[in-house]
Structure 1
Amino acid sequence: YPWDKSSLKSMPVDLQQFEKLDAYALKVNITNSVEELVKALLKQARTDLEKVRAIWMWICHHIEYDVVGYHNKSQLSSKPIDVLQTGKSICEGYAGLFEQMCSIAGIQCMKLSGYSKGYGYKMGQTFTGDSDHAWNAVYLDGRWHLLDSTWGSGAVDDSFTKFTFRYNEFYFLTHPALFINNHFPDNSNWQLLKPTLSLKDFENNMLHNSNFYMLGLLTAHPETAVIQTVNGKASVSVDCRSATLFTFKLKGTDEHGLMTLKKHGMKLDIYPQKTGSHKLQIFAKPSKASEDVYNCVLEYVVECKSVDKAMRFPKDLHQPVGPSWFTERQGFLRPSHPDPIIHTNDGRCSLTFTLGKDISVLASLHSDNSSLTEDMRRRHIMQIHRRNQIELKIHLPHTGNFVLKIYAKKKSDPGNYDYIFNYLITCLNTEVKWPAFPQSYSKWVEDYEILEPLSGLLPANRNVQFKLKMHGVAKVLVQAENTYPLTQSRDHWEGTCNTSGCREVFVMVHENANHSFYSHVLKYEVETQ
């Protein structure tokens, strides 16, 4: 029956109601007789579901996977009593013990066998010959349900030499539509699905490990494990229930892609810079998680036939790119540019946000082929504040790809700025060569605004028009070879200054008519002859 995405289980299960029973089952310590063990476990179990749960919990926490026996099957007994007494087995023994304990408890249970995408599975492989795994079906509330106590108990390391108990709730009464993802029974009726899946589809389908579902992820596209690039690009998307953070690795780096977070998932475009087959891994963590631990949720193989050289991203580009629910939470609301890439033809662009919090913002520009100093990285961006709106005006120093990094901190915090997000800015026009904005000093207040001149480099021997929006000052002077006072009209100060005979021009303010000293607020350079 189809998965309606509301539950990972095939029947309603309230795990909180199992807490007492689970704790009781873990403490039962009988290993000399299967009958005695079952009798003890059932003392606290009333319903059939509770009986199955008690048996499941006991097996998952007391039987370990026999890595030695797996390599030497001839010496291995999968008889339930032997499994119980040695406390170890392989899947065959887990399923056999489960079946016998259920039958003693009066519950119908089947041992099933088939192919699995478990240890040693290689993406896209085919399955032939004998089945490689065993699990169970139990009959509860008038229908059959699936479970796998081997996989519920823990995991084997990559070299298959060490087993670690790590309980996994996912494999208890798993919904058949999810169980089929990595269990293919010899008898297709035991898929408990209509229509049933063919072996070919099982082989081709994407493997979602239990992390995928436990993190609230719903679907991934494409559904096949191998992706062919089209014109050098491959795309993957994931849908999920709630806000989730993602990262990815293509051959171990996150450089050749562009990942954007969506409210219910993410989208990733990959541009491998080498042809051939590359492993793509996608990692996720819930946005509320305190630890910085991402779990691998998907693995693809990307087959790249041609490389799109134009999509080489600057190494400073940080994933994810562009605004999202995450940047909204940090106080950046209503972005003028919702997309991760900003294209500019003349080398200029302007972004606006509404600030939802009382924050100070810092922005800087980075590119692989420019030697911008830290100071210049900031001076190609001008911040303009209008009440709770912020505008970032950007003038690129040359053509190419740039990363615009945006940082913020609470105004009340004395500390450092935190990195929030970044955009990719692209400009193909080779003529572009904008000078930096004028340098501003600490007395230049956040909501002052330069109307002209915007360029921090003034022409020599010219009259230059100044127009500045400033409030709360008594006088404004422009200091070149001579001093030029600006006059106030409504909300701005304006006037002209001549640049001959000087290398620098300063704008200075008199904050209070009674004081004699001026504060520097802006500095312009003058072109050399």
Structure 2
Amino acid sequence: MGCTQSAAVYPGNRQGDDDDDNIIDDSILTQSNTFSNDDIIAKLLDIKNPINIQVADSQAFNQSLIQQRQQAIDNASYRSTIETWTPNSLQQLSDMIKSFCNGKSIIDQHWIIFYWITFNIEYDTVSYFTKDYKDQSAEGVFQNKKGVCAGYANIYKHLCDQIQLPCEAVVGYSKGYGFEDHEGAPTGTDHAWNVVEIYHHQYLMESTWGAGHLNDKKAFERKLDSYYFLPRPNEMIYHHLPEDKKWQLLETSIDMDEFMQMPKLRPPYFNLNLELINPYNRGHVDLLPDRPYALVLVRVPSDVQLIADLKLNGVKLEGAQRIMFDSKKQIYCCYFAPATTGENKITVYGKRNNSSSDLYDSALELVMNINQMPTNPISFPRTWDTFFDLNLEVAWPKNTNSIKLNNACSHARILIRTPTDVELFGRLKDANQQEIINGNRIYWNKEKDIWVCSFAPDRNGIFEAAILAKKKSDSGNFTSAVSFTIEAKQIPIPNISYPNTWSSFYDLGLKIQAPKNSTNAIWNDDASYTELLIQTPDDVQLSCDIKYNSAAIKHGSLAQFNNDKKLWQLLFAPECTGLHELVVYGKRISDTASATALVKFGLNVTNLQRPMKFPAVFSPFQSKKCQINTPLDGILKNGSVIPISCVIPDAVGVDIKVDSEWLPTEGYTNPNLERQITVGAKEVLIFVKYDQGANYLNIIKYTVE
């Protein structure tokens, strides 16, 4: 047993095992990609059988009609005038409409009727759900200002009749609210709308759906949808089937079986010029052969974006979809993975890139019936456009959106492949969207050519591990790319956390040896200083600072190399209690540039009995990997006799100067300096030279009190 991700064993993340580089198994990195569907997609795109649903009257939607229709819809004065009307009777309303329509085009007259109805008549939800229909005559609808579809169609026809506009009320079937609840085809008509005649051409009119819709709470939401004002018959047929075929207004009529098989396409589908490639003119989609997911392909214009979701019993399923855009083919590849058996509902939403709104509108709906779950079900992490735009790939964990930590597992690890010009950033949040400070560590493993993203929850619960990305050349902010859900149980106490690191920390190949798994250094109440231990390659040197209130403490830090442990020892001596920052800098010894910040720890000093200062050190103390054993206190007492113990590798000479006098040369045997001295009144200086004939260099300085 161990840490798990979905059904897979999650390797090596127990407390104390935080060296992610040592547990990146090459077998993980070479696992096959589930989404190798290029051949399948190519075959689907190669189908040369376009859907042939044509309007019977090819001249009906001529350019003049299209322009007049849009001008009527956009006429703000029509709307403002109609909204002021308060007729007391249906006859008074008819007179107002007749007067207002005088001299206006037939299309404008229809829009005036359409707009009054959609603005004033509310859908009667009580009648609809109780099946106790009130008076649906034109008079009844006017008086109640409510009606169901029959009432909308009746009042529309009545108002048309009053100004001699040819109009028919049509009954039939629709894929509206509650359509999914039907078992098979409906046994009786369930909807009504209108057919009108304009300039000897026939058109559809749907004022019920134009007025608004029923929401998930069974309440009517009024929202004008002008799409249903003279909609195209070859589009309406996807959700409106007249009982009398002649009112389809199509070149070739559609029967009930075809109607039930067709996908449910909403107005945004047509407004955005989408093309459903797979499934082909069907309202249901199946899992791909030998795959645990279904594939929906939608071709889009270059200025359109899509998103999608999968729902079961009206509940959105997390990790059930992945939406990928192929910019070369202008195709959205939408993958849907069921979580359980049942009738799953797929909804694809769309919007234009230049839209002022962030909202996506429902464009098409499909059904995925799952009678038996696949052998190896999968789920998808949440992804954003950035993930695909920057060509990111999840190398681990594959085929899951969920990481489960249990059995004392302390952290989750996510591996991401990126192009060389991309960098990543991480963020860990709890279920309340509160960020877990120091809860993640993101770095590029040069040896494996992969980004290692570690996330450590600070307690049990549900967390979101988010990975953001951007191009290195981009001066802008990181944007969301991919995220996983972490379910944490039995998190060890204390939990692990990560110090703040910069990319150079990993570029230089550093590893923290102490403190392990903590963003904070350890402080003992009886101590005068604390230490960090860091392992580096041989060609790297380190330095450090301790800061309080963002100001560096003079002589409060000492970076030296422990030659016995082969580790850098970073020492920090605070001046007071409180929160401090410990910053470690580094560079390659051969690099002439200044050292850069590598890692930052916190230090909470709770008690400080004896503050101290370290001796000052100068180049080449760090580059030659020197070490002070004693005295570490940089302030000596006048007249005291003290031992001097230092490690100074490969020197040809080491001498000590007390105040202005040189002491006799003694006590140095490469690499150790061991001797006693008597402290003077001002200072003690240790000098070293590394070449015969070279000058001595001061590398250590003590002051005297």
Give the TM-score category using the shorter length: 0.5 to 0.7
> Which of 219, 228, 249 matches 2:286?
228
Query: Which secondary structure state, in structure 1, belongs to the residue aligned with residue 265 of structure 2?
Result: coil
2:254 aligned residue: 197
Matched, 1:113 2:171: yes
Most deviating of 105-114 and 226-235: 226-235
> In structure 1, what is the Cα distance between the partners aligned to 2:474 and 2:622?
25
For 1:463, the equivalent position in structure 2 comes to: none
For residues 222-255 of structure 1, the C-alpha deviation after alignment (integer angstroms, 9 at most, x for no partner) is 2433323232221112333323141423442231
User: Which residue does 1:207 correspond to in 2?
Assistant: 264
Give CA-to-partner distance per residue, 1:142-201, whole Å, 9 cap, x none. Answer: 3111111111112234464x4332211121111111111111101111111121111111
2:637 corresponds to = none
Q: CA deviation at 1:82?
A: 3.2
Q: Distance in 1 between matches of 2:507 and 2:209?
A: 63
- Contact kept? 1:99, 1:109, Cα under 8 Å: yes
Q: In the alignment, does 2:305 pair up with 1:244? A: yes
Q: Which residue pairs with 2:608 in the alignment? A: none
Could you tell me how far 1:404 is from its partner in structure 2? 9.7
1:268 alignment partner AA: C
Structure 2 counterpart of 1:46, which letter? Answer: K
Structure 1 counterpart of 2:142, which letter? Answer: L
The answer to whether the aligner puts 1:178 opposite 2:178 as a matched pair is no
Counterpart of 2:54 in structure 1 is 2
1:294, distance to aligned residue in structure 2 (A)? 4.0
CA distance in 2, matches of 1:127, 1:218: 26
Q: Distance in 2 between matches of 1:441 and 1:128?
A: 64
Write out aligned runs for 1:85-484 (5 A). 85-122=143-180, 125-158=183-216, 160=218, 162-214=219-271, 217-219=274-276, 221-222=278-279, 223-229=281-287, 230-231=289-290, 232-241=292-301, 242-251=303-312, 252-263=316-327, 264=330, 266-289=332-355, 292-304=358-370, 307-308=373-374, 312-313=378-379, 317-320=381-384, 323-324=387-388, 327=389, 332=390, 335=391, 351-352=418-419, 361-363=423-425, 377-382=441-446, 393-394=449-450, 405-408=467-470, 418-422=478-482, 444=504
SS of corresponding position for 2:309:
strand
Q: Distance in 2 between matches of 1:86 and 1:60?
A: 14
CA contact (8 A) 2:441 2:453 kept: no
The SS at the match of 2:323 is strand
Matched residue pairs, number? 428
Distance 1:396 1:177, change over 3 A: same
Which of 24, 27, 38 is residue 97 of structure 2 equivalent to?
A: 38
How far apart in 2 are the matches of 1:103 and 1:481?
90
1:332-384 Cα shifts (integer Å, max 9, x gaps): 5xx5x7xx56699xx999642668xxxxx434699xxxxxx97985234459x
State the shift of 1:420 in Å: 3.3
In structure 2, relative to structure 1, the CA distance for the partners of 1:444 and 1:228 (3 Å cut) is: closer
Q: Does 1:51 align with 2:118?
A: no
Q: Which residue of 2 aligns with 1:467?
A: none
1:254 counterpart letter in structure 2? E
Distance 1:7 1:377 in 2: 61
Letter in structure 2 aligned against 1:198: D
1:14 corresponds in structure 2 to 70
The answer to whether the Cα contact below 8 Å between 2:394 and 2:417 also exists between their aligned partners in 1 is no
- Structure (1 or 2) with the larger CA radius of gyration: 2
The aligned amino acid for 1:259 is: I
User: Residues 234 and 124 from structure 1, CA distance in 2 versus in 1: closer, same or farther, beyond 3 angstroms?
Assistant: farther
| Aligned amino acid, residue 199 of structure 1 | M
AA matched with 2:136: S
1:102 to 1:519, Cα distance in 2 relative to 1, 3 A: farther
Helix, strand or coil at the partner of 1:300: strand
Which residue type is aligned with residue 352 of structure 1?
Answer: P
Gaps in structure 2 of 5+ consecutive residues: 1-52, 398-413, 429-436, 455-464, 485-498, 513-533, 542-561, 569-585, 596-616, 624-705
The CA distance in 2 between the partners of 1:441 and 1:75, in whole Å, is 69
Over 3 Å counting, the alpha-carbon distance change for 1:132 and 1:256 in structure 2 is closer
SS at match of 2:247: helix
Distance 1:154 1:397 in 2: 47
Q: Which moved more, 1:220-229 or 1:198-207?
A: 220-229
Coordinate RMSD, CA, aligned:
4.9
Distance 1:343 1:121, change over 3 A: same
For the residues of structure 1 that align with 2:536 and 2:395, how far apart are their CA atoms?
Answer: 41
Aligned counterparts of 1:485 and 1:120: Cα–Cα separation in 2: 69
Using the alignment, how far apart are the partners of 1:443 and 1:67 within structure 2? 60
SS in 2 for 1:14: helix
Q: 1:517 to 1:259 in 2, by over 3 A?
A: farther
Give the 3 Å change call, closer, same or farther, for CA 350–94 of structure 1 in structure 2: closer
Distance 2:346 2:149 in 1: 30
Alignment correspondent of 2:491: none
Q: Displacement, 1:137?
A: 1.0
CA distance, structure 1, for counterparts of residue 212 and residue 621 of structure 2: 69
Partner in structure 2 of residue 29 of structure 1? 86
- Tell me which moved more, 130-139 or 289-298: 289-298
Q: Is the 8 A contact 1:139 1:145 kept in 2?
A: yes
* 1:472 aligned residue: none
Comparing 208-217 with 187-196, which one deviates more in the overlay? Answer: 208-217
Contact 1:244 1:265 in 2 (8 A): no
Q: Which amino acid aligns with 2:114?
A: W
Q: Among the aligned pairs, what percent are the same residue?
A: 19
Return the alpha-carbon distance in structure 1 between the equivalents of residues 369 and 131 of structure 2: 38
CA–CA distance in structure 2, aligned partners of residues 421 and 157 of structure 1? 32
3-state DSSP of counterpart to 1:102: helix
Question: Kindly tell me: are residues 8 and 153 of structure 1, through their superposed partners in 2, closer, same or farther at Cα, counting changes over 3 Å?
Answer: farther
Q: Which amino acid aligns with 2:96?
A: L
The letter of the residue matching 2:322 is L
Q: After superposition, what is the alpha-carbon deviation per residue over 1:419-454, rounded to whole angstroms, capped at 9, x for unaligned?
A: 332499xxxxxxxxxxxxxx9976949xx977xxx7
Q: Distance in 2 between matches of 1:9 and 1:518?
A: 86
Find the aligned partners of 1:483 and 1:352 in 2 and give their Cα distance.
Answer: 29
Change over 3 Å in CA distance of 1:374–1:31 after alignment to 2: same
- 1:511 and 2:596 matched: no
Q: Tell me if structure 1 keeps the 8 A contact 2:306–2:348.
A: no
